[in-house]
Amino acid sequence: MDDLGRLYMKLADKNVEGLLSDTPDGVIYMRPDINVHVNPETGKISMVNPNLRLEYTAYAIDLYSERPIVITAHQGDVGDSDFIGFTDHVSVLNTLTRKTKVYYERLSNSDPYFDKRLMGIIKGLNPREALVLDNIRNFSFEKGFKKDEKLCSYMNKYFRDCGVTACINEAGPALHRDHWSMSCQPDIAPTYVGVLTAKEVKLVQNIKDGEGRKIIVVGGAKPKISDVEGMASYMDIGLVGLTAQYFLRINGYDLGEDNNRFVDARIKGTFDEKEIEKIRQLANKYKIMTPSSFKVMVNDDVKEVTAGDLRHTKGIIVDIGDGAVDDFAKRIKGGGYDWNIFAGAAGIFEKKQNNGAELVYRTLGPGTVVLGGDTIESLQQAGLLEPIEGLGGTLCTMGGSALHRWAGKPWYSLDRIGEKQVR
């Protein structure tokens, strides 16, 4: 285990319950991750089957609610359809918490976003009350850490003046982000890794450093290929979803006229030439498994097309094919793996294209690990969360942050705690 791994395990082992006895009374500033899947057609989150990240956050709010809690978080990114406020999130949280009332407060549209009015609200919070502040994804102070020291110093002092005496980082899925809302915490008050994040930190670090054979199937729409190189030296790699399409297209595969146009545009807006060259090198250096077939939607009709026949096919890829599920399942079940890990959906599960869930179902076992909010939600829709845990598998809300660490990269916000509090 490297020095970073030892630091992260030490921080995860620190008992957050000591917060109440080790710090003076006051407000707790908690940074969870409530960035969940938004239905692109409705612009709403699921109110019926809450995302596991919201369930975890509700549990954490109750766990720490002997003191009032103020919360900052992200949802989506600017310009994307899932960049929304937290009205629905707070409604769901209030159905999940057992002893805490959760409120929502929007921020001003102009600077100062944090003013005396808001400070009065925070100072007026009571135990068993939590206040979720506005989606801070696009506010200047969030992106200003290490870039605008004056702005960050102002924000840190503001939270201290609000009565914050302790901070909790429960943002496991965002540990790899160097944002003010997490990295600032040790500058405000003594900071603890939350119990749920600590559990996932230990899981990810133990998989990274432990013995045994590992395979990871990486999918989803977000560009995760940059982490594959660091993982491929000690994990077998399979690609599905848009991640597979990026990889195939960059390496010269013809995906058909419609898919070529769509994927090429995404590649142009996502990867620079240096990254593209690294992806080409991956194909030469490692045996990376990609789907042998795909589901393609043509005039509202979905049909199975082999990878080799895509070049003759009109329509957009919406999922991996049944044949690809067979191939991946055979590889995983016959490969003697101690860990089979799934990170990212294989298809557009919002439109019932969810062959990735079938793949997980056919390979379930004690070594199954499912990563990330969208992946978990796709399996929740398929009714697989209880079977996964019942057979000894693990649900982990970390997605990109787990891949980031397995690629040998740091968790920035934990590094900040280490810099300030670990000697």
Name the 3-class secondary structure at 121. helix
Percent of the chain with pLDDT over 90: 70
* pLDDT for residue 18: 77
State the sign of the Cα–Cα–Cα–Cα dihedral 344, 347, 351, 357. Answer: negative
CA distance 346 to 353: 8
CA distance 416 to 261: 42
Q: What is the CATH code of the structural domain delimited by 3-198+410-421?
A: 3.40.50.1260
DSSP 108: P
Tens of pLDDT, residue by residue over 304-355, are 999 999 999 999 999 999 999 999 999 999 999 999 999 999 999 888 889 9
Q: Which CATH number fits domain 202-406: 3.40.50.1260, 3.30.559.10, 2.40.170.20, 1.10.10.10?
A: 3.40.50.1260
CA distance 372 to 398: 5
Mean pLDDT for 220-234 is: 83
pLDDT band for position 199 (50/70/90)?
Answer: very high
Residues in the chain: 423
Question: Would you list the domain boundaries of the chain?
Answer: 3-198+410-421, 202-406
* pLDDT for residue 146: 65
Mean pLDDT for 61-85 is: 92
In DSSP terms, 401 is beta-bridged to none
Amino acid letter, 254: D
Q: Where do the DSSP E strands lie in 118-213?
A: 129-133, 164-170, 191-193
Range of weakest confidence among 168-172, 222-226, 239-243: 222-226
423 pLDDT above the threshold of 60: no
Tens of pLDDT, residue by residue over 106-155, are 887 777 788 899 999 999 999 999 999 999 887 877 876 666 677 778 88
Amino acid letter, 194: G
**Among candidate residues 87, 191, 170, 183, the one with its CA nearest the CA of residue 143:** 183
CA distance 341 to 355: 16
* pLDDT for residue 248: 95
Tens of pLDDT, residue by residue over 256-284, are 999 999 999 999 888 889 889 988 998 88
* pLDDT for residue 56: 93
Instruction: Tell me if 3-198+410-421 shares its fold with 202-406.
Output: yes
Mean pLDDT for 367-382 is: 90
Token pair belonging to 148 = 């605008």
377 pLDDT above the threshold of 70: yes
CA distance 180 to 152: 7
User: Does residue 344 come out as left (phi exceeding 0), alpha (psi in the -120 to 50 range) or beta?
Assistant: left
Helix 3-13 with 412-421: angle, nearest 10 deg: 80
Give the list of residues 6+ apart from residue 27 with CB closer than 8 angstroms, or none: 67, 68, 69, 70, 122, 123, 125, 162, 163, 164, 165
